[in-house]
Structure 1
Amino acid sequence: MEPLLSLKSVSKSYDDLNILDDIDIDIESGYFYTLLGPSGCGKTTILKLIAGFEYPDSGEVIYQNKPIGSLPPNKRKVNTVFQDYALFPHLNVYDNIAFGLKLKNYQKSKLIKK
């Protein structure tokens, strides 16, 4: 089975500091993944690359077998939940996650499943 999302040989530096060096990740559909590591190891950078808030210096970000590494965030079919509170601090986790799906007119049954 092909992965839903892949990072292939991805590298990213800020100024002269190499944050990600030739990273490979395959994420399969239907599984829950966690990025775990100490502060400054590149967890947030990986999420920014997937979301399109940053672009890789080299390598590819692939979603559903299509390269998306050069696409702007609004052209990617991925959602981001920020780690600091949430998009809307007054909403619970479900409502924060459901917000983007509601904008895409998901049916309630599909929304709950997602």
Structure 2
Amino acid sequence: MAEFGVATPSVKVAGVTPATATGKALSVVALRKTYGDVVAVDEASMEIAAGEFVTFLGASGSGKTTTLMMIAGFCEPDSGTITVGDRDVTRLAPQKRGLGFVFQQYLLFP
């Protein structure tokens, strides 16, 4: 299985730095998702501070989209936890997580 990396640059986004952000931190711990014998995400863990801008980089099939789908609540992990602020959202429905989500669309970038 391919791996993906998480890049967290220390820059201001819209004039906000992670230290002054008003949002909530995201914590992903030991997230795992399989489809039959195929391991899509294997023990992914990350801490993202409130206000941080994060990019997932990796080869096709490395688990980027599956990880994002689990964070958003559209796909349930086999194991692991997803926490927003101090609230465990791992098993919450997407509309109850308080997160925004934009689907990947090639039409957005002609």
Report the TM-score when normalising by structure 2.
0.72
Q: Which stretches in structure 1 are left out of the alignment for 5+ residues?
A: 90-114
Superposition misfits of 4+ residues, deviation over 3 angstroms = none
SS of alignment partner, residue 81 of structure 1: coil
Partner Cα separation in structure 2 for residue 69 and residue 75 of structure 1 = 11
Q: Which stretches in structure 2 are left out of the alignment for 5+ residues?
A: 1-18
SS of alignment partner, residue 21 of structure 1: strand
- How many pairs were matched up? 86
Comparing both structures, which one devotes a greater share of its residues to helix?
Answer: 1
- Report what 2:56 is aligned to: 35
Q: Within the alignment, does 1:77 sit opposite 2:95 as a pair?
A: no
Partner Cα separation in structure 2 for residue 23 and residue 16 of structure 1 = 18
Partner Cα separation in structure 1 for residue 41 and residue 68 of structure 2 = 12
C-alpha RMSD over aligned residues? 1.7
Partner Cα separation in structure 2 for residue 61 and residue 30 of structure 1 = 17
Choose the corresponding residue for 1:4, options 25, 47, 72: 25
Report the TM-score when normalising by structure 1.
0.70
Choose the corresponding residue for 1:46, options 67, 89, 101: 67
CA deviation profile, 1:6-53 (whole Å, cap 9, x unmatched): 110111101210111111111111221000000000000111001100
State the shift of 1:85 in Å: 4.7
Identity %: 41
